[in-house]
């Protein structure tokens, strides 16, 4: 059976993806910053008779995510769902630290996960990567310039990575929920 890594697996879309993958028979490696959330999702996955390893990790820390990935014997699927929306305010009122945090988690975190997992997929000549972007990344959103920019970045990253990895039987897609 396939092994899937899901970031942001404690809540929302990431949680739903992890459970759906378990229902489809995949084994899971779930990652979140919140242990309590991971424990709940892990219980649900194990009830579905799938194996599940749970890790508390901040994906903005490249070495931390890389260490977790390198412990896994096999990774077939990556769902990059970890993300935050951040404060909603006009660009000129945005705090630099808020802007940086949103870019750091949503875009750099997605990059860190891809960078650490792709070599394993290349070695196995197989992989499926799904990045959770947003319609805001395509259309922009007033009072959410950092979020929109981070998700536009995820879309660009997805397109570039897809072109780089096609020859290795690795498919990279983004979904853009509204």
Which of the residues are catalytic?
Answer: 147
- Rounded CA-CA distance 113/156 in Å is 16
The CA-atom distances, in angstroms, between 19 and each of 67, 131, 132 are 24, 17, 16
The CA-atom distances, in angstroms, between 169 and each of 6, 174, 175 are 20, 17, 20
Per the CB < 8 A criterion, the answer to whether 135 and 177 are in contact is: yes
| Consecutive H or E run containing 19 | helix 12-23
Orientation of helix 109-124 relative to helix 62-70, angle to 10°: 30
């Amino acid at each position: 059976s396939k092994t899937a890594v899901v970031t942001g697996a404690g809540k929302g879309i990431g949680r739903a993806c992890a459970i759906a993958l378990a229902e489809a028979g995949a084994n899971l490696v779930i990652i979140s910053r919140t242990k309590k959330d991971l424990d709940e999702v892990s219980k649900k996955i194990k009830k579905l008779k799938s194996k599940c390893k749970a890790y508390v990790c901040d994906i903005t820390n490249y070495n931390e995510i890389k260490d977790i990935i390198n412990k896994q014997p096999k990774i077939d699927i990556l769902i990059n769902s970890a993300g935050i929306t951040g404060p909603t305010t006009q660009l000129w009122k945005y705090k630099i630290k808020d802007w940086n945090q949103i870019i750091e988690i949503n875009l750099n975190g997605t990059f860190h996960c891809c960078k650490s997992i792709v070599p394993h997929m290349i070695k196995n000549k197989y992989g499926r990567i799904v990045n959770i972007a947003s319609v805001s990344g395509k259309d922009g959103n007033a009072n959410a310039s950092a979020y929109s920019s981070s998700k536009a970045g995820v879309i660009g990253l997805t397109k570039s990575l897809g072109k780089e990895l096609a020859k290795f039987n690795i498919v990279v897609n983004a979904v853009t929920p509204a």
